[in-house]
Amino acid sequence: MTARSQIPPAHGSLRPDTVVVAGGRPAPEHDAPVGPSIVLTSTYRGSGGLDPADRAYGRYSNPTWEDVEDVLARLEGAERPGLLYASGLAAVASVLSLVPAGGRVVMPRHSYQGSLALAADLVSRGLLTTTAVDVADTEEVVAALDGADLLWLESPTNPMLEVADLPALLAAARERGVLTCVDNTFATPLVQRPLDHGADVVVHSVTKYLAGHSDVVLGAAVTSDAGLRARLKGHRSLHGAVPGPFEAWLALRGMRTLALRIERSMATAGELARRLREHPAVAQVRYPGLPGDPGHERAAAQMDGFGSVLAVVPVGDVAAAEAVVQSLRVWTPATSLGGVESLVERRRRHHEEPHSVPETLLRLSVGIENVEDLWEDLDRALSGIDR
């Protein structure tokens, strides 16, 4: 087996945009491969008593996962390796398993619909209760924390792009002994590091920006707390929510360009938001990077950028919104986000989406295409010009 991949200790203070390139590589030895290998095995050699550090079996550990987990920990500023899961929702399920039977979870009313659906399923089976809050209303969230077991946060939220006051909310939860988890999928650790603000756990849909090429389904959880990590890892192993080595390797390869992709897509998203705000066929644009957006000042204070997702409400009814989507040629009509290609979707086509999300709201995931091509395609579709 090859030597454990890692960033050399002498370079442990590298900046995030270097970590995504340098992390998870083989040890720097003569004739070592530059890139990591894919380790395909279901079990490992061993005899006698088992040491807790032993890999032992393929459901517990894999060197290819560990390469990704090491990079994620360094990006999020965690003191312990991350945990890679078979999907983002598997990571969400693992964190929710930390809530005691009958416990209460405080969640944003606007969140990833998979998280909301999973929580609703647990509620229907009497395993926990939930309190929905407007995550942008700090006083409302803090008031809901008394007696809660977990504060679940998204910021910016999916798909409404509301921005939470992370430092204030995480501090309030800590004072009350409430466990906290932040879904950092939209921002990525290059833009926001919730552990630095006091979060106990951070989760990601690695499927999205981290892998970045719309070709894998993976999730991750990251924490600095040894006890929490052990419980999460135990849940992953026992419930079989483990990733495949091929997917892990593809995710790490995708992460090599994360900084470049985020830089390009955020710059384009900001430009498109400014133009869309002035378009006569657009009723509303939500993007934290716009001065005047309800989340702008908060995002500017706690983030290193504003993300690459826009929420756009076109003028007209649902049929008009669908016509815009169907008229686009450069933008791809599809769910998900964070890939190199720009995606668009009317979110209420999903029955699980909260009814407080406007029926006509279009979520735009900005990719890395030329900004003028993306704009011309949007302008033509919004103007009802079929050519």
Q: Which residues are known catalytic residues?
A: 59, 112, 183, 208
How far does CA 357 lie from the centroid of its chain?
20
Number of DSSP helices (H) and strands (E) in the chain, helices first: 12, 12
R_g of the chain, CA atoms, integer Å: 21
**Residue 226 DSSP SS3:** helix
Contact (CB, 8 A) for 131 and 164: no
Query: What crossing angle do the helices spanning 88-96 and 113-124 adopt, rounded to 10°?
Result: 40
Amino acid at 242: V
Q: Are 38 and 66 in contact (CB under 8 A)?
A: no
Q: How far apart are CA 80 and CA 74, in angstroms?
A: 9
| Total Cβ atoms within 10 A of residue 9 | 6
The upper half-sphere exposure of residue 47, i.e. CA atoms within 13 Å in the direction of its Cβ, equals 0
Q: Which of 160, 138, 159, 162 is nearest to 151 (CA)?
A: 138
Beta strand segments in 20-136, E: 83-85, 103-108, 128-133
Q: Please classify residue 102 by burial: count the beta carbons closer than 10 Å to its beta carbon, then call 0-12 exposed, 13-18 middle and 19+ buried.
A: exposed
Q: Which of 346, 343, 349 is nearest to 321 (CA)?
A: 346
Q: Please give the structure tokens belonging to residue 125.
A: 């089976």
Closest to 96 measured CA to CA, from 186, 219, 249: 219
